[in-house]
Every structure is written in structure tokens, then in C-alpha cells.
Structure 1
């Protein structure tokens, strides 16, 4: 087959994929009733955190989670009541909490007041308070790997940030950057707050965004001028941008994908049609995108934080600022 004919067929496939996305995102309505909103109190009214107010902020958010647990139990939702009750435990460090509906929460693992290496874990689709245990498990794996690998005198922390309503994996919303654009100002605010808490005179903390799946779209929307050292994209369907340069960030941008991750088959297209932006843009694993690619191993879409995996090892190295295994040229492709 001639190169011209191959190119024509490739363009035809891309147009067909784009048509499917358009139909799904613009024309086809979602079926099924939405889950009823779970009652909970309004979030605690708190000023931006500082090092001096952290413990009081944690306590206020734990108290709010305890009240939310009681309300969920009275509503008959025993699962949510149990999740909220766990978050209200005295040992938990909640930087933010909102138990209403799907819920929002920001939990700190480690001593944030004295941390100098901080990873912010940004989740993807289907993450809510109902799945908080799964999300926290990944954050905890990263925190343990950081503490195990941290050089002497280094103090790591992980912030598990569920600061936006994530889209459902099977939904029209996950095909567009809309939720990410809504989330971006909240992620920027979190980074500013973390700078206030962690930066010391002459010793700014090293902040890294670790962005999983649709979370990488959120990180892409927030990236411009963001005060972080690194942005690591794992299992990314795209960032909404055509290249690292288009993100307008001074941070180093990394990308990894497990060999068995289904997200590799997501079509990388983006178009503005009927007033809706459809598609999530270029593949961060494409050399033309310009990210620093690192090995993630043989795992699937949910395996990036598996203890002992190449992806977890390299994520810890990125957060700590130590040399990263870039793999062989074949692996990077």
C-alpha cells in the first residue's frame, strides 16, 4: 500500500473515531437515574491553612466528617456512613472535607508542616467518597515508598486530593475537558495553600503533581504557570494540550503507561463541535508531545501504585528529585 493511501486510511479512521466521540458527547443522552444526593453538613468555614492552623483545620474537618457520618447513617446509607466515620478518626489529617453528594476530601499523609517533598495525587474518573479507600490506598503506597527511599534529612508527604467531581468512566462527561476546566482553579488554590504551609525562608518545598487517568486532564488545565517542580502523568488519555510546550509550565512533565493499560486505545483527537469541546488531545506517550517517558511495567490502568512496581518506584524518584529510570529507547517508544 502506498504511503499516500495509508495516510488517507489513517485520516479516515480518525474521522470515524471523532464521529463516535461527537455522537457520544453531544447527541446520546445518558441513561439511568442518578444516585440521590447523600445529606451532609456544609463544609467547615475555614480560612486558607497555615502551618500554625493545620492541627485546628484537621480537627474541624474531622468533626464535619463525623457529623456527615451520622447524617448518612440516618439516611440509610451505611457504606457512606462508614467511610465518613473512618475519615473522622483522630489519626486522620483532613485538609478539606465535604460529605454532600459524591463528596470531596483532601487528606494528608505525613507531616505537612515540616515536609520538603510533597506529592499531590490527582485522581481520575469514578473517584468519590464511596471509593475513597481505593484512592487512599494508592496514596498510602506512594507515601510508604517515599519514606523508604527518602535521603537522610528529607521529609516527604502525600496529599490525596479529591477536590472536584470526577466524571464516570462510562459517561459522556469523561470525553470532554469540562470537568477538568472546572477543577483547575481549585487545584491551583491547593498548590498556593501548600506553598504557604510548606515553604520556609530559603527552602521552598519541592511539589509534584501525580496525575492519574482523567486527573491528567485536570493537571493539564491547571498547569500554566503553576508553582510545581514536576507533573507526572500516568495512564493518561490526554491533557487537553497538543504538547508539553502548550501547557506553558516551567515544571518537568513526565509520562508513563502500563503495558496492559486499556487507555492506550483511547483515540487522541480534539475538536470543537456544536459548542462542545470533544476529545482530550495528544497522547502524552507520543515522542512528539515532549514528555519525559519512564517505564511503568506490565500493569493495567489501576496498577500504577502497586508496591514493587516500576511505576511506583519511578514516581517516588520523581517526587524526591532523585535520578529516574528512563528505560531503554525501545521501552520509551
Structure 2
């Protein structure tokens, strides 16, 4: 009898501790939201709107019109650079100018506001294996170089590792307005819900270019995994990899309602591991993204990501990049498990 009472007491203590932890996590999230509500508007107000031309008017892109699309978007980037320079924003003028370089290939470009762009690495028209990178918070034209570096690292690894005769392409899809890391938007699904239809439309257009037989993988980083989670049920893709994910907005991989294989990984030094994987209502707004995608209860195929941090998943030589390359190439039996 005493042992039973002791066991019940232990369970009660555990429940109270769990309740206290959950309360602390919710208070931490609320504090972040309040901070974001103050900081984000101030930081946004610190920079005036940058003038830029509207995106180039183009017919739906096909394999035959890729070169015309690339040229039109380079010309648009060049004009955006000139307009930014005339406005006195040298930094944006430099970034836009880089995108106008003759060696660059963009499926889309929009220099207005924070900016949107989709860059292509490899021969998209003839690729057998195509990877689309979906970025997380604080990604814009101003910070685009770091996002581009991840796409280049993956493409270089794919080029080296692909079996003879296998052609690959990587697309860096900055197709939505990403949230700020310190903002009210980063803890809610609002930006992801706005982005999901855009990602679905992009994948449909991509299929028209790459063909129905191309193997298509989505590699979704950080808040980008929330975007992929929102879009997953209507995406014609073969693999979805969630890396450094705060959650997807659903509790299980099955809840994504996709035929794609769902993968997940997190580096040992990724701070996202300390983010509370909860979801609750706050003043009529759902805050948080639910179950941790690397947890057994989520049901994804968890793969090893090594000791890297939140920005290290595409670092050359890393365990995570090796496994992401295997996923894109369809070498699923070679993927090492986390």
C-alpha cells in the first residue's frame, strides 16, 4: 500500500513539474512575442521603402523559354540596382547588381520591399533530380548571399556524387516574405499560410519545366518547414526534408497528408532544440507549431545531422549535407539515421 502511494506521489510530482515547465515555456514565448511587437516595428521603420520595378511580365515558363526568363530577370535586377542607387541605398544596389550578373539564372525576381527571387543552379530543363530549398526567417535580398551559399554547396555536392548520367539542379526559392527572427510573426503560421499557395503554384510550374519524371525534393529549413507543412498536402514532390524545424503545425507526419517521404533532422548544436514544441491559443491567435519533427511520435524518417548548429546543415563536409545529398539522389538506404 505504501509503495502504491509513493508511486502515485511520484507521478503527481512529475505532473506538477511538467505543468510548471509548460507554464515557463508559454511565458517565454509570450515574452518573445511582446519583444517582437516592440522591436519589429522599430526595426522595420528604421529603413525606408526601396523603389524597384515591378517583376518582368513573362509568359508561363517552359523548358524552351528558360533562357528568355533568365535574361528578363537579370535585366529587371539591373534596373532595380539602378533605382536603389538613385534612392541612395548603396547596399541594396550592390545586392541587386550581383543578381544582374550574366552568369546568374533566376526564374523569378522582384526587388520591391524585402525582395523575392528564385535562383537556378544546374541544367533545370534536363535535370533528373531537382532540389528546392525553402528558407527560414530573416531571408531577403539583403541577406540573400548566405541562402545562395547553401544552394551552391548542395549543388556542388550533388555534382560530385551523382551517378554517371544523372543530371541535377538546385533551386533557391525565396518566394515568400520571411518573418524576422525577433518578431511576432515568427511564432505563428501567418506568413506560412500566405506562402503555401505560392509554393504550390511554384511546384506546379516547376513540373512543367522539369517534367513529370524528374525526382523532386523539398528541403525546408527552420520556419521554411512551417511553409512546407502548410503546403504539403497539395505538392507533387517525392521527398520533404525538415531541418532545424520548430514544428510544422501538425502533430504527425501523416497529418501532412502527403505521398512524399517525410524526413527530419536537427544538429546537436541547433538552438531550435531549446524552442518549446507546443501549440496553444493566445488572444485568438495560435502560437507555436506543435510536435517536434525529430521526435518518435511525429513519425518522420529521422536522419543524422552531426554536431552542427542552426545554420550548418549545408556546410561542406558535414553529415547533414551528405545525407541531404543522398535524399535528393534517391540513395535512401545510404542515409544515416539520427
TM over 0.5: yes
Which residue does the alignment assign to 1:292? Answer: 301
Alignment partner for residue 66 of structure 2, among 44, 54, 74?
Answer: 54
The question of whether the paired residues in 1 share the 8 Å contact of 2:326 and 2:335 is answered with no
Q: Does 1:269 align with 2:269?
A: no
The question of whether the paired residues in 2 share the 8 Å contact of 1:294 and 1:324 is answered with no
Matches of 1:59 and 1:261, distance apart in 2 = 39
RMSD of Structure 2 on Structure 1 (CA): 1.5
Counterpart mapping for 1:22-61 below 5 A: 22=30, 24-25=32-33, 29-31=37-39, 32-34=42-44, 35-61=47-73
Matches of 1:110 and 1:326, distance apart in 2 = 23
Alignment partner for residue 240 of structure 1, among 249, 264, 277?
Answer: 249
Which residue does the alignment assign to 2:5? Answer: none
Q: Does 1:192 align with 2:200?
A: no
- The CA deviation string for residues 17-71 of structure 1, in whole angstroms up to 9 with x for no partner, is 2244245437973232412111100111122211111111111111100000000
Q: Does 1:141 align with 2:153?
A: yes
The question of whether the paired residues in 2 share the 8 Å contact of 1:225 and 1:250 is answered with no
The question of whether the paired residues in 1 share the 8 Å contact of 2:63 and 2:210 is answered with yes
Which residue does the alignment assign to 1:66? Answer: 78
Aligned length: 326
Matches of 2:295 and 2:77, distance apart in 1 = 43
The question of whether the paired residues in 1 share the 8 Å contact of 2:37 and 2:183 is answered with no
Structure 1 segments unaligned to the other structure (5+ residues): none
Counterpart mapping for 1:305-324 below 5 A: 305-324=314-333
Matches of 1:27 and 1:78, distance apart in 2 = 30
Q: Does 1:150 align with 2:159?
A: no
Which residue does the alignment assign to 1:113? Answer: 125
Structure of greater Rg: 2
Which residue does the alignment assign to 1:181? Answer: 193
Which residue does the alignment assign to 1:18? Answer: 26
The question of whether the paired residues in 2 share the 8 Å contact of 1:184 and 1:219 is answered with yes
The question of whether the paired residues in 2 share the 8 Å contact of 1:283 and 1:289 is answered with yes
Q: Secondary structure of 1:52's partner?
A: helix
Normalization by structure 1: what TM-score? 0.94
CA-CA distance at 1:260 after TM superposition: 0.6
CA-CA distance at 1:326 after TM superposition: 4.8
Counterpart mapping for 1:151-230 below 5 A: 151-199=163-211, 204-230=213-239
CA-CA distance at 1:222 after TM superposition: 0.6
Which residue does the alignment assign to 1:96? Answer: 108
Q: Secondary structure of 1:107's partner?
A: strand
Matches of 2:277 and 2:333, distance apart in 1 = 27
Which residue does the alignment assign to 2:144? Answer: 132
Structure 2 segments unaligned to the other structure (5+ residues): 1-8
Q: Secondary structure of 1:181's partner?
A: helix
CA-CA distance at 1:281 after TM superposition: 1.2
Matches of 1:123 and 1:28, distance apart in 2 = 20
**Greater CA drift, 270-279 or 7-16:** 7-16
The question of whether the paired residues in 1 share the 8 Å contact of 2:220 and 2:242 is answered with yes
The question of whether the paired residues in 1 share the 8 Å contact of 2:244 and 2:265 is answered with yes
Q: Secondary structure of 2:273's partner?
A: helix
The question of whether the paired residues in 1 share the 8 Å contact of 2:36 and 2:183 is answered with no
Q: Does 1:302 align with 2:291?
A: no
Normalization by structure 2: what TM-score? 0.93
Matches of 1:324 and 1:180, distance apart in 2 = 32
The question of whether the paired residues in 2 share the 8 Å contact of 1:225 and 1:249 is answered with yes
